[in-house]
Chains A and B, each alone.
Chain A
Amino acid sequence: MISKRTGIRLVAVLSLIVLCVYLAFIGKEHRVFFDNRVKTIDGVKYKSEYTYEVAVLGTGEEPEFVDLDDMTMIEAVGPKHVIEISVMDLDGEPLYEISRNVSMGFKTDCVLYLPLIVDTHMGEKD
Chain B
Amino acid sequence: MLTKEKVKSFLVNQAVPILFLIIVAVGAPLSGFSLQHLTQEMTYRLARDSFVVLSLLVPIMAGMGLNFGIVLGSMAGQIGLIFITDWGIRGIPGLFIAAVLGTPIAILLGFMCGSILNKARGKEMVTSYILGFFVNGLYQFFGLFMLGPIIPITKPSMLISRGYGVRNTVDLLGVRGAIDKLIDLKIGGVSIPVATFLLIAAFCFFIVWIRKTKLGQDIRAAGQDYELARLSGIAVDRTRIISIIISTVLACYGQIILLQNLGTVNTYSSHEMTGVFAIAALLVGGATVAKASLMNVFVGVLLFHMMFVISPMAGKRLIGSAQLGEYFRVFVSYGVICIALIFHAMKERARAQKHREELMIGESSLNHGGEAR
Contact = CB atoms under 8 A, between A and B. Distances in A.
A–B contact with Cβ pairs below 8 Å: the answer is yes
Contact of A29 (B90, B92, B96, B100): B90
A27 B89 contact: yes
Contacts of A29: 88-90, 174
Interface in A42-83: 77
B100 A27 contact: no
A24 B93 contact: yes
A28 B89 contact: yes
Interface in A1-32: 16, 20, 23-24, 26-30
B97 interface: yes
B89 A23 contact: yes
Contacts of A24: 87, 89, 93, 97
B96 A20 contact: yes
B223 interface: no
Interface in B81-103: 87-94, 96-97, 100
A26 B90 CA distance: 9
A80 B87 CA distance: 17
A107 to B, nearest CB: 11
Interface centre among B92, B93, B96, B154 (most CB of A within 10 A): B93
A23 to B, nearest CB: 4
B101 to A, nearest CB: 9
A102 B97 CA distance: 25
A16 B97 CA distance: 10
Interface size range on A against B: 10 to 19
A108 interface: yes
Nearest to A27: B93
B93 A23 contact: yes
Contacts of B89: 23-24, 27-29
A27 B90 CA distance: 5
Nearest to A29: B88
A99 B54 CA distance: 51
Nearest to B92: A27
Contacts of A28: 87-90
A77 B87 contact: no
A108 B91 CA distance: 16
B93 A26 contact: yes
Nearest to B88: A29
A23 B87 CA distance: 12
Nearest to A21: B97
B87 A20 contact: no
Contact of B97 (A20, A77, A108): A20
A33 B89 CA distance: 19
Contacts of B96: 20, 23
Contact of B90 (A16, A20, A77, A108): A77
A115 to B, nearest CB: 28
Contacts of B154: 108
9 contacts: A20-B97, A24-B87, A27-B89, A27-B90, A27-B92, A27-B93, A27-B94, A28-B88, A29-B90
Given A29-B90, A77-B91, 19 more contacts: A16-B100, A20-B96, A20-B97, A23-B89, A23-B93, A23-B97, A24-B87, A24-B89, A27-B89, A27-B90, A27-B94, A27-B97, A28-B87, A28-B88, A28-B90, A29-B88, A29-B89, A108-B88, A108-B154
